[in-house]
Amino acid sequence: MNLAETCEFWARWQPEAVAMSQSGRHRTWSELEERTRRIAVGLRGKGVTAGDRVGILGANALSWCELAIGILRAGAVVVPLNVRATTSELAYMVDAVSLSAIAHDATLVDRYEPLAAERPNTLRIALDDRAPSDITLSALAAQGHDLDPTIVAGIAGSDPAVVAFTSGTTGYPKGAVLTHDNVFATANNYTRTEGWDSGTAMLCCVPLAFTGGVINNFLITFVVGGTLLLEEFDPVTALNLIVSWPVNAMTGVPIMYEGIASAPGFDSADLSSLGTAITGGALVPAPLLRRYEAKGVYIRQAYSLTEATASTTVLPRSHFLSKRDAAGLPAPHTRVRIVDGGRREVPVGEVGEIAVSGPQVCAGYWGDPEASSAAVADGWLYTGDMGTVDADGFLRVVDRKKDMIISGGLNVYPAEIERVVGEFPGVGEVAAVGTDHERWGETVAVVIGGPGVADVDLAKLHEHCRTHLADYKLPRYIVRSTEALPRSMSGKVLRRVLRDGLDTSVAHRTPAR
């Protein structure tokens, strides 16, 4: 069974059950099946064929999910696009996977409009029926009724379903190829470990543009036949939905759980339905864990990455507090090992690189065989993250991939920042590091050096960054260095040394995001 068959399956089994809801607007499974079938027919009529990549650039909405399902039913591939990406970042992604079509809503026209004229063969779809386009989503859904059954039957489990862009450790994002089998493997993991089924009500407040949104929230709920509740994150709305629906599953970053706990009415709210409360990216403070525990909710850590279809380890409920610093145990059919620089397994308790093997490991990176073979070899995904496994088999992540910065739960890779800053006149050397931030956990600081660094206009440099980087990637602090940046024997900049010695009190401080 592939993802393209899923909607028809659940429409037959539970036609009147709610498949999706947003702000009081519901879609039953029978309604979703009818609409997405028509969208698939419309896409085929517009020339979208099996294996074509279709990008979606839009805020969380029913239309986003309906189009994604229609794309899959047409035999094509869903490519989520970061709604916070700049035009130049989008241009790279659009071209990297050769999009046949791109959908966007009116709020994001300014991001894609400059690219449209240069890409006349890329079909433009208006998600909200208001954006400039070649065709609207509503018009697509009115193109026809009967979907050629051979299209769905011809989709193999090993075929790409989603190309999800990761932040690039080389300065450019890479498109991880997630197959139909990969997504079903992740769904199986959550079914086995969390008991997700057609009774699951998932509160989705994380962007669908990110793997955690499109996979863990949307597609896995879709596969198990549950109900997806789409909302932009607002603590009061989230709390009210958890209580009133009631919601029994939520995945998010710690700041979301903190916000909900601060919402009026939290202390008296009945949250006992929330059986799955998973987080990642940062450690949840013990007092917050205990506050939720008092209400019967066990917030637990998980670890994964896009290349493992967002499913690797999760902490069992029974250990949510005793091992709160652990990222959990491997999911079903998943192996985790810790290896040294020669990719040999190290003894229990020693630090090394985290390697993952299982049916959820991606097929590689789109159009990048060199990066694919470096990351996935002999059935193992080498993550670049550093960790340990204890005697009980629990994984702990001790260092983050390639000095990655996590700001508000979002991954920021220094190489992306350094590529953009290094393009600015007068900048000879540049290094980006993370530094503490009272709200976002971490924010970006850059250190620049070189013979002409004294003449660099830092305000103009910031504007240059604003043009080419999403807001959460923008440097908050810029430091001039009159000395050469510290480097290792191999010539690599020692970011850890810079981070440890960073003095933000003498830095140029840019406007907050």
Mean pLDDT across 350-379: 95
- Give yes or no for a contact between 434 and 444, defined as CB atoms under 8 angstroms apart: yes
Q: Assess if residue 408 is contained within a domain.
A: yes
Last residue of a domain, one of 155, 175, 196: 155
Each residue of 156-189: pLDDT tens digit? 999 999 999 986 656 688 999 999 999 999 999 9
Q: Which of 104, 126, 155 is the last residue of a domain?
A: 155
Of the three residues 128, 155, 182, the one that is the final residue of a domain is 155
Task: Give the CATH number of the domain where residue 478 resides.
Answer: 3.30.300.30
Of 430, 427, 432, nearest to 451 (Cα)?
427
Average pLDDT, stretch 399-418? 81
Give the residue-averaged pLDDT of 94-117.
93
Instruction: Evaluate whether residue 421 is within a structural domain.
Output: yes
Q: Using CA atoms, how far apart are residues 324 and 321, in angstroms rounded to an integer?
A: 5
289, 265, 107, 273: which is closest to 201 by C-alpha?
A: 273
- Counting the structural domains of the chain, the total is 2
| Span 120-138, average pLDDT | 95
Q: Does any domain span residue 441?
A: yes
320/72 Cα distance (integer angstroms): 37
Query: pLDDT (tens digit, 9 = 90+) per residue, 267-284?
Result: 999 999 999 999 986 677
What is the model's pLDDT at position 488? 58
User: Quick check: is 269 in a domain?
Assistant: no
457 lies in which domain range?
404-509
Instruction: Please tell me whether the overall predicted TM-score, pTM, comes out greater than 0.75 for this model.
Output: yes
pLDDT score of 487 more than 90:
no
Query: Cβ of 411: how many Cβ atoms within 10 Å?
Result: 20
Is there a domain that residue 483 lies in? yes
Task: Give the pLDDT of residue 168.
Answer: 60
Report which secondary-structure segment, H or E, holds 229: strand 227-230
Residue 44 is encoded by which pair of tokens? 């085929």
Q: What is the DSSP string of 67-82?
A: HHHHHHHTT-EEEE--
CATH of the domain at 89: 3.40.50.980
Q: Is residue 84 part of a domain?
A: yes
